Amino acid sequence: MLTSFIEGLLCCLTSKPANTVVPVETSEPADGYEFVEVKPGRVLRVRHIIPDRPAVEEPSLGGIVSCKRKITVYRNGQLFIENLGERASAELKTCQNGETEPNSMVEVELTDCRNSSPPVSIPEARKPKRTVVIDCERRIAACKGTHSDVALFFIHGVGGSLDIWGSQLDFFSRLGYEVIAPDLAGHGASSSPHIAAAYTFYALAEDMRLIFKRYAKKRNILIGHSYGVSFCTFLAHEFPDQIHKMVMINGGGPTALEPSLCSIFNLPTCVLHCLSPLLAWSFLKAGFARQGSREKQLLKEYNAFNVSSFVLRAMMSGQYWPEGDEVYHAELTVPVLLVHGMHDKFVPVEEDQRMAEILLMAFLKVLEDGSHMVMLECPEAVNTLLHEFFLWEPVTLPPPKKEPKARPETAKPQTDNISEPATVRPATARQT
C-alpha cells in the first residue's frame, strides 16, 4: 500500500502514468503468440493456435431456421417484439424447454426511456416511432474441431487479458479447433497508448474488427466476457454472414453503453493508483464466489485485473455506445448462448434474463458455483457448455403435408357392350 501511495504521488508530481503497459517479446513462439500492428504504433498481442488435425471432416448441412420477427418502438419508449417464424420458434422452444410453443410476442420497456410510465396495452391507433422487420433464413450446423472452416474468437473485458481464457484455449485447441484470443489495447502485452481516445468503445471495436478480418474463417464463433460481449455484438452486426454462433459470458443486459458521471473511476489517475490495492481487493470480492488463496492465485496466474490506472480510467470513461440498445440486440439472428455465474455482483442475473428475452435465438445457462470470472472458477463446466453449444444444430421441422382434395365421383353411364378402359399407372417421380 505504501509503495502504491509513493508511486501515485510521483505520478501526480511528474504527470506521468504509473505502471504503463508495453508490448513484450515472447520467447515461446511455438505457443502461438503473435504481435499484430492494427494501426501505426498500435500493437496487439494475439494468441493464435492452429491445431494439427489428423483427420478433416466435412461439415453437415445442419438445419435451416426461419428468422422472422417484427420489432416496433413506440413513442413512449415501449418495445414490442412479435416473432413471426412459426416453425423456427417452435423448434427453438423445443431445444430449450422440451415443449413446443406457438409464436410468441415480447413486450418490454426500454431502459433508456425517459418516460417511466408502466407498460400498457398497445392500441392500434398509436403511431410507432420505429419499426424493423426481419425476414431471413439461417442455416445452422454443428461446429466440430475436425471442421477446417471453423474458428473460435475469445474477447476479454476490462482489466483482463487473453490469459483468462487459458483453460478454454487449451481445451478447444486439443479438440482440433482453431482459436484466436487478442489482448485489448492497454491490457496484457499489447501496447498502451498514453491518450484516452485510444480506449473508447469505437477505437477498441475497430481493433477487434481488424483482428477478425485477419483470422476469420467461413464459420466463426465469438465468445465474449463482460465488456468483451459488446465487441462480439458489434462484430455480429458487421459480419452477419460469417458469425455462425455467439457466446455471452456475464455480459449484462441489452442496453446502450454510457459512462457513469458519479464513478470512482472519474478520479485522477494518481488517486486511482493509490487506491489500486483497494480496487484489486474489491474486484476479488465481487468477481469470485469465494475469496480464498486459490482465487488470489487465479488472479495472479491468469493476469486478471492487472492494468494501469490510466488505462483503467480511460476504459471506464470510454464506454459510450448509444447504438447498442435493445433494438440493436433484437436484430441479431445468430444463435446465442448466455452463461451467467449466480454469485456475480457486477452483473445481476436479471440483466442476462432480459438479454435472453430480447434475442431471437438464446439459451441461458446459470452456474450456481460461479461468479463474474466463471471461466476461471468453473473451467470444466464452462468448457462443457460451450462445446455442447458448438455441436448443437436445429432439426428443421418438415412442412405439414397437404391432403389432396377429394374429387367428386362422376356417375358412370349405363351402357352395354362397352368395355372399361385399361388402367394406366402414373410414372414414379425420382427423388433428387
- Reading the block at residue 397, the C-alpha cell is 421441422
Check: CB of residue 72 under 8 Å from CB of residue 106: no
In a domain, 320, yes or no: yes
372 assigned to active site? yes
Any domain includes 339: yes
- Residue 263's pLDDT is 78
- How many other C-beta atoms can be found within 10 angstroms of the C-beta atom of residue 239? 15
Q: Could you give the C-alpha distances from 2 to 165, 233, 271, 273, 274, in angstroms and in order?
A: 32, 42, 13, 11, 9
Region for 236 from its dihedrals, namely left if φ exceeds 0, alpha if ψ lies in -120 to 50, beta otherwise? alpha
If one compares 300 and 125, the residue with the highest pLDDT of the two is: 300
Task: Point out the least confidently predicted range of 16-20, 223-227, 365-369.
Answer: 16-20
Write down the catalytic residue from 147, 225, 343, 372.
Answer: 372
Q: Domain holding 212: CATH number?
A: 3.40.50.1820
Q: Does residue 211 form part of some domain? A: yes
Encode pLDDT of 266-296 as tens digits.
Answer: 788 888 778 777 787 788 888 898 888 888 8
Is 263 part of a structural domain of the chain?
yes
Q: How far is CA 212 from CA 162, 346, 417, 418, in A?
A: 15, 28, 83, 79
Q: How confident is the model at residue 404 (pLDDT cuts 50, 70, 90)?
A: low
pLDDT at 279: 80
The predicted pLDDT at position 84 comes to 85
User: In sequence order, what are the residues at sequence separation of 6 or more whose Cβ sits closer than 8 angstroms to the Cβ of residue 45?
Assistant: 23, 26, 33, 34, 35, 36, 162, 182, 183, 188, 189, 190
Predicted confidence (pLDDT) at residue 254 exceeds the cutoff of 50:
yes
Would you say the C-alpha torsion 323, 326, 327, 329 has a positive or negative sign? positive
pLDDT band at 231 (very low <50, low <70, confident <90, very high): very high
Distance CA 69, CA 366 (A): 27
Structure confidence by residue, pLDDT tens digits, 158-169 = 999 999 999 999
pLDDT at 123 over 70: no
- What mean pLDDT do residues 381-391 have? 97
pLDDT value, residue 402: 60
Supply the pLDDT for residue 401: 62
Catalytic residue, from 163, 183, 325, 344: name it. 344
Q: Is the pLDDT of residue 88 over 90?
A: no
Distance set, CA 177 to CA 155, 222, 241, 404 (Å): 16, 13, 20, 49
> What pTM value is reported for the model?
0.79
Residue 261 has pLDDT above 70, yes or no: yes
Catalytic residue chosen out of the listed positions 173, 191, 192, 226 = 226
Task: State yes or no: pLDDT of 92 exceeds 60.
Answer: no
Annotation says 173 is catalytic? no
Identify the pLDDT of residue 297.
83
Mean pLDDT score of the chain: 80
Instruction: Report pLDDT digits (tens) over 5-26.
Output: 334 433 443 444 444 443 444 4
Residue 326 vs residue 265, higher pLDDT: 326
**Does residue 169 fall inside a structural domain?**
yes
Work out how many domains the chain is built from and give that number.
Answer: 1
Neighbour tally for 56: CB within 10 Å = 10
Domain for residue 53, yes or no? no
Give the range with max mean pLDDT: 5-14, 262-271, 304-313, 357-366.
Answer: 357-366
Res 326 pLDDT > 70: yes
42 closest CA partner among 206, 156, 222: 206
pLDDT at 397 (0 to 100): 58
Residue 288: domain span: 140-391
| 271 in a structural domain | yes
- 81 found inside a domain: no
More confident residue, 263 or 424: 263
C-alpha 140/C-alpha 219 separation (Å) is 10
